[in-house]
């Protein structure tokens, strides 16, 4: 949430504005309520800012150009305190001499009392934001050393925040501070960068520094220095960004989401890569949790939000099946406040694409405080949740830019399968021997997704015909149930259509009242060899709703003829074993939401009100 960029370079180049705007373009997925920049310009700091997307700011910059500068900061906002107006757009100024500007991601929880104090002292405010309070405090604290000023101000702040500040009297300096909110450092040659994530500077350098919580970083053209909030010197942890700028570009597709849907074979394949030995056994040295500890686990709790939580629901079926360890899935924001029952024998698995989701982060911290072992399934190196966990299993989906998650979902499910099969292998039991066979089949899934993506023509047509539809329902059972929920979520967020996912068995307990003639219903059908006769039960559910006039859009495996008499449309997916089916059945639902959104002329990559990385509670 909120994208932040900071830059210092050589005064000969004066390219701060270009670098900051390029960074903002790459970070715009984090929030697009407004955008703004501040550049150090002689004895003052110049700002331009505008409500709406980055394009609006660019238009302002054309009308009112800024002088070339070598030091600047930029911000793209997801509004929390104060509406998405020009006045509330960042950067915010502190003091009255026009020398200081601040940008911020997060929430300053005690801003009311701080603002009251400043108002009593006669300070005037130009916005409704909590950020402006910080800017005013910084201006008052500044006494020739911006880092020291930042240190004294953060000591007074409660909440989660990333802050960047520039001051005209320190023209070659950008100071950043972070607490429970993302900030990474990019190290260039004679120029240095700060960003909410590495996308901010990937066009310039792949050398990066991770910061710990409660640290302040000061960048100059010559380097970066880090101190803890208490003033003790610290050092960031260096890492190399493994993807290049092209990975964060559309590569010929109209939207990032379409590109990311087509990257799904790689997301699954790369997440499996390097995790098996020659004999087909899983090797997860990266987990850094002893085999004995993993053998001793008697309970698993998965914490996540949104799409990642649906990946967790799929994982529950698979891990319980393979290991017989009870698995619970909790929405991270509920887990934190429900007195969860965990012990040192509980493995708490967090799932997060961004690694920054505040609710998930807080759930992980809570679990650790309660003594649980914590593993993070995460897509973003250098992010906070893996750092706060005992261990990490990275998904290798590459950068996900579209706000709606697609390839990360498949990679999360894959990583959870890997974790489940590894536990099965380690602990023995009936599934230990079968783990290798499941893994072998998993390796065939990328090819099947590729094949499936090549046959989406009819799904695109159905989406176009349904552009005026007001409500769509999704049904599934077993691992198809979270897929139905994910299909509904994609449609809500991308096409702004009422959509609900149900467990097909629950239908008769109420939701069937929603069915009226013409109501479109997607049904995710399990493969014919799914245990417990589930396939037959779902076929019966299709008949029940069709008898009441529903228009049935059936997602079924190739060769499943039993569904044919009851389907208005059949979308075929390649056959696979029941537990792995979500990696295929969700794909047509993603494609459907994408094309329905496009047919309605909506912004696929940046749907209204959303932001990619939810770093506030
Ligand atoms: C939906 C979507 C969200 C995220 C959720 C968690 O398309 O993207 O529901 O899945 O906000 O985000 P991460 O995985 O970054 O923790």
pLDDT tens for 392-423 read: 999 999 889 899 999 999 999 999 999 999 99
C-alpha of residue 229 to centroid of ligand 1, in Å: 30
308 Cβ below 6 A of ligand 1: yes
Q: What angle do CA 186, 189, 192 make, to 5 degrees?
A: 35
Q: Give the Å distances, CA to CA, from 338 to 334, 365, 366, 389.
A: 6, 14, 11, 20
153 Cβ below 6 A of ligand 1: no
Q: What is the pLDDT of residue 338?
A: 86
Angle between helices 264-272 and 435-453 (to 10 degrees): 160
379 Cβ below 6 A of ligand 1: no
Ligand 1, atom 16, residue with closest C-alpha:
352
Sign of CA dihedral 25, 27, 30, 34: negative
C-alpha of residue 403 to centroid of ligand 1, in Å: 8
Q: What is the pLDDT of residue 80?
A: 76
Probe residue for ligand 1, chosen from 353, 380, 413, 609 as the CB with the greatest number of ligand atoms within 8 Å: 353
C-alpha of residue 399 to centroid of ligand 1, in Å: 13
* CA–CA dist 569, 522 (Å, integer): 9
- End-to-end Cα, the chain, rounded Å: 11
Question: Is 374:368 a contact under the CB 8 Å cutoff?
Answer: yes
615 Cβ below 6 A of ligand 1: no
357 Cβ below 6 A of ligand 1: yes
Question: Is 613:482 a contact under the CB 8 Å cutoff?
Answer: no
Q: What is the pLDDT of residue 81?
A: 75
Query: What CA dihedral angle connects 554, 557, 558 and 563, to 10 degrees?
Result: -40
352 Cβ below 6 A of ligand 1: yes
Q: What pLDDT digit, counting tens, does each position of 306-364 carry?
A: 999 999 999 999 999 999 999 999 999 999 888 889 999 999 999 999 999 999 999 99
Angle between helices 582-599 and 435-453 (to 10 degrees): 20
All structural domains of the chain: 3-245 (3.60.20.10), 256-443 (3.40.50.10490), 455-599 (3.40.50.10490)
pTM of the model: 0.86
353 Cβ below 6 A of ligand 1: yes
Sheet holding 327-331, edge to edge: 327-331, 299-304, 346-352, 373-378, 391-394
Q: What is the pLDDT of residue 204?
A: 95
Q: Which residues are known to be catalytic?
A: 2, 612
C-alpha of residue 446 to centroid of ligand 1, in Å: 22
Ligand 1, atom nearest to 404 Cα: 7
613 Cβ below 6 A of ligand 1: yes
Regions of the chain short of the pLDDT cut 70: 616
Structure tokens at 146: 């911006």
Structure tokens at 86: 């020009």
Ligand 1, atom 9, residue with closest C-alpha:
306
User: Long-range contacts for 426-430 (Cβ within 8 Å, ≥24 apart)?
Assistant: 426/291, 426/294, 426/295, 427/294, 427/295, 427/323, 429/323, 429/324
Name the β-bridge partners of 3: 76
260 Cβ below 6 A of ligand 1: no
* CA–CA dist 184, 20 (Å, integer): 15
Nearest to 200 by CA among 13, 45, 20: 20
* CA–CA dist 489, 307 (Å, integer): 8
Residue with tokens 């495996």: 557
Q: What is the pLDDT of residue 610?
A: 80
Probe residue for ligand 1, chosen from 260, 403, 405 as the CB with the greatest number of ligand atoms within 8 Å: 405
Looking at the chain, how many residues does it have?
Answer: 617
Ligand 1, atom 7, residue with closest C-alpha:
404
C-alpha of residue 595 to centroid of ligand 1, in Å: 20
Name the β-bridge partners of 38: 47, 73
Residue with tokens 């830019």: 401
C-alpha of residue 151 to centroid of ligand 1, in Å: 33
173 Cβ below 6 A of ligand 1: no
Question: Is 475:524 a contact under the CB 8 Å cutoff?
Answer: yes
488 Cβ below 6 A of ligand 1: no
3-state secondary structure 71-119: EEEEEEECCCCCCCCCCCCCCEEECCCCCEEEEEEEEECCHHHHHHHHH
10 Å Cβ neighbour count for 162? Answer: 23
Rg (CA), the chain: 25
Question: Is 589:487 a contact under the CB 8 Å cutoff?
Answer: yes
Question: Is 194:164 a contact under the CB 8 Å cutoff?
Answer: yes
Ligand 1, atom nearest to 408 Cα: 14
* CA–CA dist 200, 184 (Å, integer): 9
C-alpha of residue 277 to centroid of ligand 1, in Å: 32
* Plot region of 603 (φ>0 → left; ψ -120 to 50 → alpha; else → beta): beta
Question: Is 164:146 a contact under the CB 8 Å cutoff?
Answer: no
Q: Is the peptide bond before 91 cis (omega within 30 degrees of 0)?
A: yes
Q: What is the pLDDT of residue 430?
A: 75
Probe residue for ligand 1, chosen from 302, 304, 307, 358 as the CB with the greatest number of ligand atoms within 8 Å: 307
Probe residue for ligand 1, chosen from 197, 199, 267, 305 as the CB with the greatest number of ligand atoms within 8 Å: 305
Q: What pLDDT digit, counting tens, does each position of 540-566 carry?
A: 999 999 999 999 999 999 999 999 999
34 Cβ below 6 A of ligand 1: no
């Amino acid at each position: 949430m909120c994208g932040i960029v900071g830059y210092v370079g050589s005064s000969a180049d004066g390219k701060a504005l270009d670098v900051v705007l390029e960074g903002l373009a790459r970070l715009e997925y984090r929030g697009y309520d407004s955008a703004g920049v501040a550049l150090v310009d002689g004895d003052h700091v110049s700002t331009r800012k505008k409500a709406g997307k980055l394009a609006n700011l660019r238009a302002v910059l054309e009308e009112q150009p800024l002088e070339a500068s070598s030091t600047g900061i930029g911000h793209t906002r997801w509004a929390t305190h104060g509406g998405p107006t020009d006045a509330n757009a960042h950067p915010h100024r502190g003091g009255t001499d026009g020398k200081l500007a601040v940008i911020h991601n997060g929430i300053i929880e005690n801003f009311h009392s701080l603002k009251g104090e400043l108002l009593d002292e006669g300070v005037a405010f130009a916005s409704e934001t909590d950020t402006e309070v910080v800017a005013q405090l910084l201006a008052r604290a500044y006494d020739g050393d911006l880092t020291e000023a930042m240190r004294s101000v953060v000591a007074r702040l409660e909440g989660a925040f990333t802050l960047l500040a520039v001051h005209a009297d320190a023209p070659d300096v950008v100071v950043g501070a972070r607490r429970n909110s993302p900030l990474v450092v990019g190290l260039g040659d004679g120029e240095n960068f700060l960003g909410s994530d590495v996308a901010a500077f990937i066009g310039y350098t792949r050398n990066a520094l991770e910061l710990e919580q409660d640290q302040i970083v000061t960048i100059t053209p010559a380097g970066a220095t880090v101190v803890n909030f208490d003033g003790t010197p610290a050092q960031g942890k260096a890492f190399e960004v493994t993807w290049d700028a092209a990975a964060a570009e559309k590569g010929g597709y109209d939207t990032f989401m379409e590109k990311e849907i087509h990257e799904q074979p790689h997301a699954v394949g790369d997440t499996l890569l390097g995790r098996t030995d020659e004999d087909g056994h899983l090797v997860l040295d990266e987990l850094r949790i002893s085999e004995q500890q993993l053998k001793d686990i008697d309970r698993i709790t998965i914490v996540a939000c949104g799409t990642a939580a649906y990946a967790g629901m799929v994982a529950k079926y698979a891990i319980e099946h393979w290991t017989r360890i009870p698995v619970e899935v909790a929405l991270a924001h509920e887990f934190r406040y429900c007195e969860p029952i965990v012990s040192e024998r509980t493995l708490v698995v967090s799932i997060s694409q961004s690694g920054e989701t505040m609710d998930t982060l807080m759930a992980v911290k809570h679990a650790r405080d309660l003594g649980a072992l914590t593993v993070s399934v995460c897509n973003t190196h250098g992010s906070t949740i893996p750092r706060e966990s005992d261990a990490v299993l990275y998904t290798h989906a590459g950068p996900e830019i579209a706000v709606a998650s697609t390839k990360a979902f498949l990679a999360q499910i894959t990583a959870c399968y890997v974790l489940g099969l590894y536990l099965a292998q380690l602990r023995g039991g009936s599934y230990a021997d079968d783990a290798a066979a499941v893994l072998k089949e998993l390796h065939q899934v990328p090819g099947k997704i590729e094949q499936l993506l090549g046959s989406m023509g009819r799904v695109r047509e159905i989406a176009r015909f349904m552009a005026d539809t007001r409500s769509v329902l999704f049904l599934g059972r077993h691992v198809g149930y979270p897929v139905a929920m994910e299909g509904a979520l994609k449609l809500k967020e991308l096409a702004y259509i009422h959509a609900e996912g149900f467990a097909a068995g629950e239908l008769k307990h109420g939701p069937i009242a929603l069915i009226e003639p013409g109501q479109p219903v997607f049904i995710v059908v399990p493969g014919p060899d799914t245990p417990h006769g589930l396939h037959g039960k779902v076929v019966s559910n299709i008949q029940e709703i069709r008898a009441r006039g529903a228009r049935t859009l059936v997602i079924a495996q190739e060769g499943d003829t039993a569904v044919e008499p009851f389907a208005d449309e059949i979308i075929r997916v390649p056959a696979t074993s029941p537990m792995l089916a979500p990696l295929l059945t969700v794909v047509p639902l993603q494609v459907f939401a994408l094309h329905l959104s496009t047919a309605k002329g909506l912004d696929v990559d940046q749907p209204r009100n959303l932001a990619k990385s939810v770093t506030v509670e």
